[in-house]
Amino acid sequence: MKKAESFSAFYFRDFRLFWIGQLISFSGTWMHSTAQGWLVYSLTKSPFYLGLVAAASSLPILFFTLIGGAVADRFRKRNLLLVTQALSIIPAVMIGLLTSLGVITVWHVMALVVFLGTVNAFDVPARQSFLAEMVEKANLLNAIALNSAAFNGARIIGPVIAGMTIAHIGLPACFYLNALSFLAVIIALSMIKAKGEAKQSRESILKDISEGVRFIRKESGVRRPILLVATFSLFGIPFVTLLPIFAEEILDVGVKGLGFLAGSAGAGAFISAIILAFRGDIKEKHRLMSVSATVFPVSLFVFSVSKNYYLSMTALLIVGLAVVNFLATANSSIQLKTPDNLRGRVMSVYTLVFLGMTPIGNSMMGTVADIIGTANAVSLAAVVCFSASAIILTRMKT
């Protein structure tokens, strides 16, 4: 068994292949996300529609991810991921084609993001739980941190490239490049030897889901981090959908500035993930989660009131660092406390509160921004996150 040291998950061939494929695919995904936000804002000039489209992309996760977790515990995860990655190519190509033809509408975008969100409801629980099958238990935290580093490293690369691509080549190119990026994961998965276990179950999907939920309710070390993740996902993280408005109306930096704003949050997240991967295991997870959960809403509040572009980028750097520090630590803590046969279902609940709550949060943020202004809406969200995290953290054990 390889000890839990810095970057030790890279010693496993399967994980290396998967990580490289994901880094490429995640970069395409962030390009797509940045371009999609700019497209929707260009079509509507409305924060309400920005929130609505973001909600539409996450709403299927709210409805289907618990089923996705049960499916991940029943079938070979590698095969399931091959299917979801192939299906993910379709909406990227369709948005690119419709944009190229000049016939794209916000309703086309909504329909395609609903399709992709449904695919993600099955993809994310399988992807999260598959990590434990590519590395040994002692290296799981390291694998989660490195996976987070790939995701957040792509947050630096993707938005910046998207801004440059939109300015010099055109908006559709971002969507086509994202479609191509999925091939990297498909190739990596086809080369991976680990396929995951296919567990036979005579119980119904509903009973399988109930078993996972009962475990979370009984295990406070899993339940409380999930509750705090839900709080941030509902009130704090949806600020990302309003970045085009900050770039265009508040900071007056345009699409290139939007890329660097999003990239700043990604840079902080990437730094956080690299530090976690370098440290290996973390004994005082409660203390790290407490500090991160406090710094996140404070830095988000600073961003919301800033009128200076460079101060805003600095605040977003700290936002990204703090929130990923918390999420990666919570994720690893939850997985290490979860039995192998329940991991897909537990991670589906994690996915539900992390991604599935965002439809409500995005819709609420867009609506509130229309009523009281974008900056005021984000300020209010930061205050809510700070207050709620203070209450929840006092009940979390070390």
Q: Domain containing 70 — which CATH number?
A: 1.20.1250.20
Q: Is residue 196 part of a domain?
A: no
Q: Is residue 223 part of a domain?
A: yes
- Tell me what pLDDT residue 201 has: 61
Mean pLDDT, residues 39-66 taken together: 83
- Tell me what pLDDT residue 322 has: 92
Top mean pLDDT of 142-146, 270-274, 297-301, 371-375 is at: 297-301
Q: Is residue 1 part of a domain?
A: no
d(CA 304, CA 127): 33
Total structural domains in the chain?
1
- Tell me what pLDDT residue 195 has: 62
Q: Is residue 46 part of a domain?
A: yes
Select from 269, 227, 171, 275 the least CA-distant residue to 385: 227
d(CA 241, CA 58): 12
Q: Is the pLDDT of residue 367 over 50?
A: yes
Which residue type is seen at 124? Answer: V
Q: Is residue 398 part of a domain?
A: no
Range of the domain at 91: 8-190+202-393
Mean pLDDT, residues 4-25 taken together: 85
Q: Is residue 197 part of a domain?
A: no
- Tell me what pLDDT residue 287 has: 77
Q: Is the pLDDT of residue 172 over 50?
A: yes
Q: Is residue 99 part of a domain?
A: yes
- Tell me what pLDDT residue 118 has: 92
CB distance 225 to 277 below 8 Å: no
Q: Is residue 356 part of a domain?
A: yes
- Tell me what pLDDT residue 398 has: 46
Mean pLDDT, residues 262-272 taken together: 82
d(CA 217, CA 279): 30
Q: Is the pLDDT of residue 3 over 60?
A: no
